[in-house]
Amino acid sequence: MDVRWNSTYLMLKHLIPYISTFSVFIGANYGLVNGQPLLSDGHWVVAEKMMEFLEMFYESTVVLSGVYYPTSPLMLHHILDIAQHLHSKDNDPLLMNIVTPMKLKFLKYWQNITLLYSFAFILDPRAKIRGFHNVLQLLAQTICTDYSTYFSEVRTELYKLFNKYEAKFGAVRLQRQSQVAGPTGKKKQHGVRSLELLVLI
């Protein structure tokens, strides 16, 4: 099927380890066609290169289709990986004709990153705001897009969202802190920390 690239990848993945076996079988049963073997070494080179090219997309699809773990914090990681993968094939004579329309389609859907994925990435303890800034810089270099305004927008919107939660649940947090106060009356370091501690450190 022309539109099922993932089935093409899986077919090639299971085929490539048996190149020599298939070559012998085809040579023995079909011989030469117009003086040339039905499948030449050049055909196998193309097959291997296509499998390597599609592998990144297959792995991202599998990871982002998971149901037993959160996938939204992983989106920016894979967006960056795919952007760099496409960029690395710009000058490949075999792939450049298909990479160009793929890059246009990629920019159509992913050049403007939704706030949901940005928030999820920042709230991941492994990334936070510094990691988000680094990812935007790498993505900007790869697809030639300026994300400086977007970074400021995300930061502003994140603080707005935090203030809404603080207005709604701040009283509950203060009450909880007073309940865990020590015998000297000093509050222990429990409860919700500030937004700066959550996303900046």
pLDDT at site 85: 96
The answer to whether the beta carbons of residues 80 and 136 sit under 8 Å apart is: no
Interatomic CA distance for residues 61 and 56, integer angstroms = 9
Q: Tokens 């599998």 sit at which residue?
A: 62
The answer to whether the beta carbons of residues 199 and 129 sit under 8 Å apart is: yes
For the chain, domain boundaries: 1-65, 70-172
pLDDT at site 190: 44
CA dist 27 → 13, 42, 115, 119 (Å): 22, 15, 56, 57
Three-state DSSP at 55 gives helix
The answer to whether the beta carbons of residues 146 and 140 sit under 8 Å apart is: yes
CA dist 106 → 9, 33, 40, 125, 134 (Å): 19, 40, 33, 28, 20
Each of the 201 residues of the chain gets a pLDDT tens digit; together they read 666 788 889 999 999 999 989 888 888 887 777 777 778 888 899 999 999 999 999 999 999 999 999 999 999 999 999 999 999 998 899 998 999 999 999 999 999 999 999 999 999 999 999 999 999 999 999 999 999 999 999 999 999 998 988 888 877 766 766 666 555 555 544 444 555 555 665
CA dist 187 → 36, 172, 173, 176, 197 (Å): 83, 15, 12, 10, 18
Q: Which DSSP letter does residue 32 get?
A: E
pLDDT at site 33: 72
The identity of residue 85, as a single letter, is H
What radius of gyration, in Å, describes the C-alpha atoms of the chain? 26
